[in-house]
Amino acid sequence: MPLLYPRRFPHRIPRMAQGTHDFVDDPRNASILIYVNGALLPRAQATVSVFDSGFILGDGIWEGLRVVGGHPVFLDAHLDRLYEGAKAILLDIGMDRAALTAAIYDTLKANDMHDGVHIRLMVSRGLKRTPYQDPRVCIGPA
């Protein structure tokens, strides 16, 4: 099932002395709500199990979406890629495009996010009984 992790970014990001990415902490991110399997949860409660196949094996897909003017930029292209990637690895996202789109907009609305936002949309195969790679050993949704 999908996990939507939205983050705010300041409009001006100063250059870092080291590293490959610019980053400035935005204190508003401390109180965000994250969409996990159909629920909007406070950051501290939005967790993924160590037995999740995405964590234990990297068995999943993700897309990064920028939000401008209250709308994810190139949303259709991102969703096309997400669903095509899922199909390629035989992963059931568990939601159709309309439901996933609604979840994205619900998450933005719940966090009062309109601009300067990055959404990390992550989908894994679900919980594993064991770290064995065969997808048939999944015991539940992510």
Reported as a pLDDT band with limits 50, 70 and 90, residue 29 is: confident
Over the chain, what HEC string results? CEEEEEEECCCCCCCCCCCCCCCCCCHHHHHCEEEECCEEEEHHHCCCCCCEHHHHHCCEEEEEEEEECCEECCHHHHHHHHHHHHHHCCCCCCCCHHHHHHHHHHHHHHCCCCCCEEEEEEEECCEECCCCCCHHHEEECC
To the nearest whole number, what is the mean pLDDT of the chain? 86
| Angle at which helices 97-110 and 75-88 cross, to 10° | 130
Which range among 10-14, 44-48, 129-133 has the greatest average pLDDT? 44-48
* pLDDT for position 88: 96
* pLDDT for position 128: 84
pLDDT tens digit sequence for 76-115: 999 999 999 999 999 999 999 999 999 999 999 999 999 9
Q: What percent of the chain has pLDDT over 70?
A: 81
Q: Does the pLDDT value for residue 11 go beyond 60?
A: no
CATH number, domain of 32, equals: 3.30.470.10
* pLDDT for position 22: 64
Instruction: Please count the structural domains in the chain.
Output: 1
* pLDDT for position 139: 72
Domain that holds residue 102: 2-15+22-140
